[in-house]
Protein backbone atom coordinates (compact mmCIF):
# COMPACT_ATOMS: atom_id res chain seq x y z
CA UNK A 1 0.00 0.00 0.00
CA UNK A 2 2.69 2.44 1.02
CA UNK A 3 4.86 1.86 -2.05
CA UNK A 4 1.90 2.16 -4.40
CA UNK A 5 0.99 5.46 -2.77
CA UNK A 6 4.51 6.76 -3.22
CA UNK A 7 4.57 5.52 -6.81
CA UNK A 8 1.28 7.30 -7.50
CA UNK A 9 2.63 10.56 -6.09
CA UNK A 10 5.77 10.32 -8.20
CA UNK A 11 3.90 9.39 -11.37
CA UNK A 12 1.58 12.39 -10.92
CA UNK A 13 4.53 14.60 -10.08
CA UNK A 14 6.08 13.75 -13.45
CA UNK A 15 2.96 14.44 -15.50
CA UNK A 16 2.18 17.63 -13.58
CA UNK A 17 5.80 18.74 -13.86
CA UNK A 18 6.25 18.07 -17.58
CA UNK A 19 4.51 21.21 -18.94
CA UNK A 20 6.60 23.39 -16.61
CA UNK A 21 9.70 21.40 -17.54
CA UNK A 22 9.30 22.05 -21.28
CA UNK A 23 8.68 25.75 -20.73
CA UNK A 24 11.56 26.11 -18.27
CA UNK A 25 13.91 24.24 -20.58
CA UNK A 26 13.07 26.70 -23.34
CA UNK A 27 13.55 29.67 -21.05
CA UNK A 28 16.95 28.30 -19.99
CA UNK A 29 18.09 28.43 -23.62
CA UNK A 30 16.70 31.93 -24.03
CA UNK A 31 18.23 33.28 -20.84
CA UNK A 32 21.54 31.56 -21.50
CA UNK A 33 21.71 33.77 -24.59
CA UNK A 34 21.12 36.82 -22.41
CA UNK A 35 17.48 37.40 -23.28
CA UNK A 36 14.88 37.48 -20.55
CA UNK A 37 11.48 36.46 -21.92
CA UNK A 38 8.66 36.91 -19.43
CA UNK A 39 6.14 35.97 -22.12
CA UNK A 40 6.25 32.27 -21.20
CA UNK A 41 2.67 32.22 -19.92
CA UNK A 42 1.42 33.81 -23.14
CA UNK A 43 3.44 31.51 -25.35
CA UNK A 44 2.21 28.47 -23.45
CA UNK A 45 -1.40 29.56 -23.89
CA UNK A 46 -0.99 30.16 -27.60
CA UNK A 47 0.83 26.83 -27.87
CA UNK A 48 -2.01 25.12 -26.03
CA UNK A 49 -4.71 26.57 -28.25
CA UNK A 50 -2.98 26.07 -31.60
CA UNK A 51 -1.89 22.60 -30.56
CA UNK A 52 -5.46 21.73 -29.71
CA UNK A 53 -6.89 23.29 -32.87
CA UNK A 54 -4.55 21.44 -35.20
CA UNK A 55 -4.80 18.14 -33.33
CA UNK A 56 -8.58 18.49 -33.39
CA UNK A 57 -8.73 19.21 -37.12
CA UNK A 58 -6.17 16.65 -38.24
CA UNK A 59 -6.87 14.00 -35.64
CA UNK A 60 -3.16 13.60 -35.09
CA UNK A 61 -1.75 15.00 -31.85
CA UNK A 62 1.78 15.11 -33.28
CA UNK A 63 0.67 17.74 -35.79
CA UNK A 64 -0.70 19.59 -32.81
CA UNK A 65 2.71 19.53 -31.16
CA UNK A 66 4.32 20.84 -34.33
CA UNK A 67 1.77 23.63 -34.59
CA UNK A 68 2.31 24.61 -30.98
CA UNK A 69 6.06 24.81 -31.62
CA UNK A 70 5.45 26.98 -34.64
CA UNK A 71 3.10 29.28 -32.76
CA UNK A 72 5.39 29.59 -29.75
CA UNK A 73 8.32 30.22 -32.08
CA UNK A 74 6.46 32.97 -33.93
CA UNK A 75 5.47 34.74 -30.73
CA UNK A 76 9.00 34.63 -29.39
CA UNK A 77 10.17 35.97 -32.75
CA UNK A 78 8.24 39.15 -31.94
CA UNK A 79 10.10 39.31 -28.65
CA UNK A 80 13.44 38.81 -30.38
CA UNK A 81 12.60 41.46 -32.95
CA UNK A 82 11.74 43.96 -30.25
CA UNK A 83 14.57 43.24 -27.85
CA UNK A 84 17.44 42.25 -30.14
CA UNK A 85 16.93 44.39 -33.22
CA UNK A 86 15.03 47.30 -31.71
CA UNK A 87 16.72 46.96 -28.31
CA UNK A 88 13.51 47.46 -26.38
CA UNK A 89 13.26 46.78 -22.68
CA UNK A 90 13.08 43.01 -22.29
CA UNK A 91 10.87 43.00 -19.22
CA UNK A 92 8.25 45.23 -20.80
CA UNK A 93 8.27 43.33 -24.08
CA UNK A 94 7.95 39.99 -22.26
CA UNK A 95 5.04 41.19 -20.17
CA UNK A 96 3.37 42.55 -23.30
CA UNK A 97 3.82 39.15 -24.88
CA UNK A 98 2.00 37.48 -21.99
CA UNK A 99 -0.93 39.88 -22.26
CA UNK A 100 -0.96 39.48 -26.02
CA UNK A 101 -0.76 35.70 -25.84
CA UNK A 102 -3.55 35.46 -23.29
CA UNK A 103 -5.86 37.56 -25.44
CA UNK A 104 -4.87 35.91 -28.69
CA UNK A 105 -5.39 32.38 -27.33
CA UNK A 106 -8.84 33.28 -26.03
CA UNK A 107 -9.72 34.80 -29.37
CA UNK A 108 -8.46 31.87 -31.44
CA UNK A 109 -10.01 29.25 -29.20
CA UNK A 110 -13.59 30.56 -29.12
CA UNK A 111 -14.95 27.91 -31.47
CA UNK A 112 -13.16 25.04 -29.75
CA UNK A 113 -14.51 25.47 -26.27
CA UNK A 114 -16.28 22.43 -24.91
CA UNK A 115 -14.96 20.17 -27.65
CA UNK A 116 -13.28 16.94 -26.63
CA UNK A 117 -10.08 15.94 -28.39
CA UNK A 118 -10.77 12.88 -30.56
CA UNK A 119 -7.31 11.41 -30.29
CA UNK A 120 -5.26 12.62 -27.32
CA UNK A 121 -1.87 11.24 -26.37
CA UNK A 122 -2.23 8.17 -24.19
CA UNK A 123 0.12 6.67 -21.66
CA UNK A 124 2.11 3.87 -23.26
CA UNK A 125 4.09 1.22 -21.50
CA UNK A 126 7.69 1.12 -22.64
CA UNK A 127 8.07 -2.64 -23.19
CA UNK A 128 9.80 -4.51 -20.41
CA UNK A 129 10.92 -1.33 -18.67
CA UNK A 130 7.32 -0.65 -17.74
CA UNK A 131 7.15 -3.91 -15.78
CA UNK A 132 9.88 -3.03 -13.31
CA UNK A 133 8.20 -2.76 -9.92
CA UNK A 134 7.71 0.80 -8.59
CA UNK A 135 10.09 2.42 -11.12
CA UNK A 136 8.20 1.03 -14.11
CA UNK A 137 4.81 2.60 -13.35
CA UNK A 138 6.47 5.87 -12.36
CA UNK A 139 8.87 6.36 -15.27
CA UNK A 140 7.88 4.03 -18.08
CA UNK A 141 4.11 4.04 -18.21
CA UNK A 142 3.85 7.63 -19.37
CA UNK A 143 2.79 9.40 -22.54
CA UNK A 144 5.08 10.08 -25.53
CA UNK A 145 5.70 13.72 -24.61
CA UNK A 146 7.05 12.71 -21.21
CA UNK A 147 9.48 10.36 -22.96
CA UNK A 148 10.42 13.22 -25.25
CA UNK A 149 11.26 15.34 -22.22
CA UNK A 150 13.34 12.48 -20.78
CA UNK A 151 15.46 12.59 -23.93
CA UNK A 152 15.49 16.35 -24.27
CA UNK A 153 16.81 17.20 -20.82
CA UNK A 154 20.17 15.36 -20.95
CA UNK A 155 20.57 16.40 -24.59
CA UNK A 156 20.08 20.04 -23.65
CA UNK A 157 22.55 19.74 -20.82
CA UNK A 158 25.11 18.16 -23.14
CA UNK A 159 24.48 20.79 -25.77
CA UNK A 160 24.84 23.75 -23.42
CA UNK A 161 27.84 22.56 -21.44
CA UNK A 162 29.75 20.18 -23.71
CA UNK A 163 29.52 21.46 -27.27
CA UNK A 164 31.08 24.36 -29.11
CA UNK A 165 27.69 25.78 -30.04
CA UNK A 166 26.71 25.62 -26.39
CA UNK A 167 29.88 27.45 -25.48
CA UNK A 168 29.04 30.18 -27.98
CA UNK A 169 25.55 30.38 -26.55
CA UNK A 170 26.84 30.82 -23.03
CA UNK A 171 29.44 33.34 -24.18
CA UNK A 172 26.72 35.49 -25.77
CA UNK A 173 24.82 35.48 -22.50
CA UNK A 174 27.84 36.13 -20.30
CA UNK A 175 29.84 38.57 -22.34
CA UNK A 176 28.38 39.44 -25.73
CA UNK A 177 31.25 41.83 -26.48
CA UNK A 178 33.84 39.10 -26.18
CA UNK A 179 31.69 36.67 -28.14
CA UNK A 180 31.29 39.25 -30.87
CA UNK A 181 35.01 39.88 -31.10
CA UNK A 182 35.51 36.14 -31.58
CA UNK A 183 33.19 36.18 -34.56
CA UNK A 184 30.02 34.84 -32.92
CA UNK A 185 27.02 36.74 -34.20
CA UNK A 186 25.31 37.99 -31.07
CA UNK A 187 22.02 38.92 -32.67
CA UNK A 188 21.74 35.66 -34.68
CA UNK A 189 22.43 33.64 -31.55
CA UNK A 190 19.91 35.59 -29.55
CA UNK A 191 17.24 35.28 -32.23
CA UNK A 192 17.82 31.55 -32.52
CA UNK A 193 17.62 30.71 -28.83
CA UNK A 194 14.75 33.07 -28.10
CA UNK A 195 12.82 31.12 -30.72
CA UNK A 196 13.97 27.77 -29.37
CA UNK A 197 12.62 28.98 -26.04
CA UNK A 198 9.30 29.91 -27.60
CA UNK A 199 8.96 26.55 -29.31
CA UNK A 200 9.56 24.66 -26.10
CA UNK A 201 7.11 26.87 -24.22
CA UNK A 202 4.62 26.06 -26.98
CA UNK A 203 5.09 22.32 -26.39
CA UNK A 204 4.65 22.94 -22.67
CA UNK A 205 1.29 24.53 -23.41
CA UNK A 206 0.32 21.80 -25.83
CA UNK A 207 1.06 19.24 -23.14
CA UNK A 208 -1.80 20.73 -21.14
CA UNK A 209 -4.33 20.77 -23.97
CA UNK A 210 -3.29 17.49 -25.61
CA UNK A 211 -2.39 15.28 -22.67
CA UNK A 212 -3.11 16.57 -19.24
CA UNK A 213 -6.63 17.88 -19.61
CA UNK A 214 -7.27 17.14 -23.30
CA UNK A 215 -9.53 20.07 -24.15
CA UNK A 216 -9.18 23.79 -24.68
CA UNK A 217 -10.19 26.02 -21.81
CA UNK A 218 -9.35 29.70 -21.71
CA UNK A 219 -6.45 30.51 -19.44
CA UNK A 220 -5.87 26.84 -18.79
CA UNK A 221 -2.22 27.33 -17.87
CA UNK A 222 -3.42 29.01 -14.65
CA UNK A 223 -0.06 30.64 -13.95
CA UNK A 224 2.21 27.73 -14.87
CA UNK A 225 4.23 29.99 -17.18
CA UNK A 226 5.29 32.03 -14.17
CA UNK A 227 6.23 28.93 -12.24
CA UNK A 228 8.41 27.99 -15.21
CA UNK A 229 10.16 31.35 -15.01
CA UNK A 230 10.78 30.78 -11.30
CA UNK A 231 11.98 27.28 -12.07
CA UNK A 232 14.71 28.63 -14.36
CA UNK A 233 16.20 30.51 -11.44
CA UNK A 234 15.67 27.52 -9.18
CA UNK A 235 17.59 25.34 -11.64
CA UNK A 236 20.47 27.83 -11.80
CA UNK A 237 20.06 27.73 -15.60
CA UNK A 238 20.91 24.02 -15.71
CA UNK A 239 18.52 21.60 -17.51
CA UNK A 240 19.26 18.73 -15.12
CA UNK A 241 18.24 20.70 -12.06
CA UNK A 242 15.23 21.98 -13.98
CA UNK A 243 14.05 18.37 -14.25
CA UNK A 244 14.38 17.85 -10.51
CA UNK A 245 12.69 21.17 -9.77
CA UNK A 246 9.83 20.60 -12.22
CA UNK A 247 8.95 17.27 -10.63
CA UNK A 248 9.24 18.79 -7.20
CA UNK A 249 6.97 21.70 -8.11
CA UNK A 250 4.61 19.31 -9.89
CA UNK A 251 4.57 16.86 -7.00
CA UNK A 252 3.63 19.40 -4.36
CA UNK A 253 -0.04 19.36 -5.33
CA UNK A 254 -0.20 15.59 -5.70
CA UNK A 255 1.36 15.20 -2.29
CA UNK A 256 -0.91 17.83 -0.75
CA UNK A 257 -4.08 16.07 -1.84
CA UNK A 258 -2.89 12.74 -0.50
CA UNK A 259 -1.99 14.38 2.78
CA UNK A 260 -5.55 15.65 2.98
CA UNK A 261 -6.85 12.13 2.44
CA UNK A 262 -4.63 10.85 5.25
CA UNK A 263 -6.07 13.69 7.33
CA UNK A 264 -2.72 15.40 7.77
CA UNK A 265 -3.52 19.10 8.02
CA UNK A 266 -1.11 21.26 6.04
CA UNK A 267 -2.54 24.56 4.84
CA UNK A 268 -2.80 24.27 1.07
CA UNK A 269 -1.84 27.92 0.74
CA UNK A 270 1.48 27.07 2.29
CA UNK A 271 1.96 24.27 -0.22
CA UNK A 272 1.25 26.55 -3.17
CA UNK A 273 3.79 29.01 -1.80
CA UNK A 274 6.52 26.39 -1.61
CA UNK A 275 7.84 26.66 -5.20
CA UNK A 276 8.34 30.38 -4.77
CA UNK A 277 9.91 30.06 -1.33
CA UNK A 278 12.37 27.54 -2.76
CA UNK A 279 13.09 29.87 -5.66
CA UNK A 280 13.80 32.81 -3.39
CA UNK A 281 16.10 30.68 -1.23
CA UNK A 282 18.01 29.46 -4.27
CA UNK A 283 18.19 33.00 -5.59
CA UNK A 284 19.78 34.19 -2.33
CA UNK A 285 22.20 31.28 -2.30
CA UNK A 286 23.27 31.69 -5.92
CA UNK A 287 23.72 35.43 -5.70
CA UNK A 288 25.90 34.85 -2.68
CA UNK A 289 27.98 32.20 -4.40
CA UNK A 290 27.90 33.69 -7.86
CA UNK A 291 31.25 35.47 -7.77
CA UNK A 292 33.23 32.46 -6.64
CA UNK A 293 31.68 29.52 -8.48
CA UNK A 294 30.31 31.04 -11.60
CA UNK A 295 26.81 29.71 -10.97
CA UNK A 296 23.96 32.15 -11.20
CA UNK A 297 22.38 34.27 -13.84
CA UNK A 298 24.16 34.88 -17.15
CA UNK A 299 25.96 38.17 -16.68
CA UNK A 300 24.43 39.93 -19.66
CA UNK A 301 20.89 38.72 -18.93
CA UNK A 302 18.34 41.38 -19.72
CA UNK A 303 20.84 43.74 -21.36
CA UNK A 304 20.67 44.76 -24.97
CA UNK A 305 23.89 44.47 -26.89
CA UNK A 306 25.05 47.35 -29.01
CA UNK A 307 28.30 46.94 -30.86
CA UNK A 308 29.04 50.66 -30.90
CA UNK A 309 28.54 51.04 -27.18
CA UNK A 310 31.09 48.36 -26.37
Binding mask 66-85 for another protein (x = CB under 8 A): ------------x--xx---
Residues in 91-150 at the binding interface with another protein, rule: CB under 8 A: 92-93, 96-97, 99-100, 102-104, 106-107, 109-110, 113-116
DSSP state letters, 140-187: SEE-HHHHHHHHHHHHHHHHHHHSHHHHHHHHHHH-HHHHHHTT--HH
Residues in 223-252 at the binding interface with another protein, rule: CB under 8 A: 224
* Spatial separation of the C-alpha atoms in residues 138 and 53, rounded to whole Å: 30
* Spatial separation of the C-alpha atoms in residues 107 and 100, rounded to whole Å: 10
Tell me the closest approach of the beta carbon of residue 268 to another protein, in angstroms: 5
Residues in 171-210 at the binding interface with another protein, rule: CB under 8 A: 208
Tell me the closest approach of the beta carbon of residue 307 to another protein, in angstroms: 12
* Spatial separation of the C-alpha atoms in residues 63 and 154, rounded to whole Å: 25
Tell me the closest approach of the beta carbon of residue 82 to another protein, in angstroms: 6
Count of residues of this chain found to bind another protein when the rule CB under 8 A is applied: 54
Kindly report the backbone phi and psi dihedral angles of residue 86, in degrees, each rounded to the nearest multiple of 5, phi listed first.
-90, -5
Given a contact cutoff of 8 angstroms between Cβ atoms, the answer to whether 86 and 189 are in contact is no
295 burial (CB, 10 Å; 0-12 / 13-18 / 19+) is middle
Tell me the closest approach of the beta carbon of residue 257 to another protein, in angstroms: 4
- What Å distances lie between residue 33 and 26, 39, 84, 119, 279, CA to CA? 11, 16, 11, 37, 21
Residues in 5-64 at the binding interface with another protein, rule: CB under 8 A: 5, 8, 12, 16, 19
Q: Give the nearer residue to another protein in terms of CB position, either 209 or 236.
A: 209
86 near another protein (CB under 8 A): yes
Residues in 257-286 at the binding interface with another protein, rule: CB under 8 A: 257-258, 260-261, 263, 265, 267-269, 272
* Spatial separation of the C-alpha atoms in residues 225 and 23, rounded to whole Å: 7
* Spatial separation of the C-alpha atoms in residues 187 and 285, rounded to whole Å: 31
Q: Give the nearer residue to another protein in terms of CB position, either 114 or 127.
A: 114
Binds another protein (CB under 8 A): choice among 212, 237, 241, 305: 212
* Residues in touch with another protein (CB under 8 A): 4-5, 8, 12, 16, 19, 78, 81-82, 86-89, 92-93, 96-97, 99-100, 102-104, 106-107, 109-110, 113-116, 208, 212-220, 222, 224, 253-254, 257-258, 260-261, 263, 265, 267-269, 272
Amino acid sequence: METSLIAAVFATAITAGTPILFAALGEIFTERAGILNLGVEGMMLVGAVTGFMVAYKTGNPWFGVLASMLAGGLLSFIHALLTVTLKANQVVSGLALTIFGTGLSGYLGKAFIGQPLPNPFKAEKLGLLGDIPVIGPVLFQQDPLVYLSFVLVPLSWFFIFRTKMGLNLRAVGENPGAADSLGVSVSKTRYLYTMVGGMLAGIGGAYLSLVYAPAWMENMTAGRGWIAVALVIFSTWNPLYALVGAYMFGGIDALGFRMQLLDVQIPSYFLSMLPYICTILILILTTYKAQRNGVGAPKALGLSYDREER
